[in-house]
Amino acid sequence: MSNLYRSAIYARLSKLPPMPPPEDLEDGDEGEEEVDTLGSLLSSPPAPTSLPRSGSGSTSAKSSHLDAFRPTSALGYFDQALEINVPSVQLNFRVYYTPPKAKGGTVLVCHHGAGYSALSFACFAKEVTGLSNGECGILAFDVRRHGKTVPTPESQTPDVDANLDTITLVNDCMSLLTTVFPHPAASPSLLLVGHSLGGSVCVRVVPLLLERKYRLTGVAVLDVVEEFTLDALPNMHALLHTRPTGFGSIEEGIEWHFRTHAIRNVTSARISIPTILVPSVSGNPPPWKWRTPLEDTAPYWTNWFTSLSSLFLSCKTARLLVLAGTERLDRELMIGQMQGKFQLEVISGVGHMLHEDNPTRLAEVLVEFWRRNERVLVGVKKVGET
């Protein structure tokens, strides 16, 4: 479950793995573009502690301290920022898109985890574009009740985006994809990439897309294993109580994520974190609060991850599982791996937000997976085909 998933697992283990020291902050300045302007683009955390303070220093000293955590836009990471109206689900989806260079190419469809947003894939998207020389497109979207996806103005239903059960999220994803790519025969080949909760949604979308005759290159699930996730859920509430309820500024929110190793790549955090915080509507402190408080999603946790392993293994396309560190497989996945049903990759030195922590390495893994399975020769089976 987003950046708390691995912490909950560690709570049931006898030893915590060593935490690498924080990386040096880069001193780059990427401008002050508005993060939410349409068209402008064209873990293992320990128990969180209180945010470091600048003590009795001056306001200017504190401002200087937070300069390294100033929000930056996704300018240069995606080609387009779009608002796509999908009347069937009464939502305006925020979509970030870089189309493939060639007509009929491949598009990686990226589904983020609970509590985060599409811009968690920003740095990864830029790396994929470069490594594939533009042959791979990238589409990432904010799911309902996350980021900048909002109910349509015409919606007459209060809290129309409140339902986060798996069936609803799968229907949202399918509705968006069939709106963006309405004709399967003319659609690019799709490679579904889902992080945590997103992985659970993606494996359920695969058979629906195949039923409608869309071309699929494969499905990639990022850092979620059914058995260990379900076992970790009882610890989640206690871990959530250790989180701040909000922050004094967006800069403090970015700093907290970096200092606690929730996200280990400050460049990515400066892009993604502003989209998961919103001004406090009550006017009470703190002035910036979570866009999607994870404790509010608790009724859906079990529903999200039950049957994930079997659904992943049953996908009739190439399958890739990418894990952070030396995470164990559950029994079903272990048997599947021994039978050659999927490709397994482990990325070291990252936390649960592996696509933010090391976007370069993940892009290398995904581009190699794409090349192996999209350009497969006639008679040669894809990864995971038996």
Write out the catalytic residue numbers.
Answer: 196, 223, 352
Contacts by residues 330-336 (CB-CB < 8 Å, ≥ 24 positions apart): 330/225, 330/226, 330/227, 330/228, 331/227, 332/226, 332/227, 333/225, 333/226, 333/309, 336/309
User: Which pair of tokens denotes residue 294?
Assistant: 């994870």
**Residue 139's closest CA among 151, 149, 125?**
125
Going by C-beta distance under 8 Å and a sequence separation of 6 or more, which residues neighbour residue 255? 51, 52, 66, 69
* Cβ atoms 92, 76 nearer than 8 A: no
3 state SS of 305 = helix
CA distance 107 to 120: 17
| C-beta neighbour count of 144 within 10 angstroms | 21
- Strands (E) in the chain, as ranges, are 80-86, 91-98, 106-111, 136-141, 150-151, 189-195, 216-222, 246-247, 277-279, 288-290, 319-324, 343-347
Amino acid letter, residue 141: F
SS3 track for 209-246: HHHCCCCEEEEEEECCCHHHHHHHHHHHHHHHCCCCCE
78: DSSP letter: B
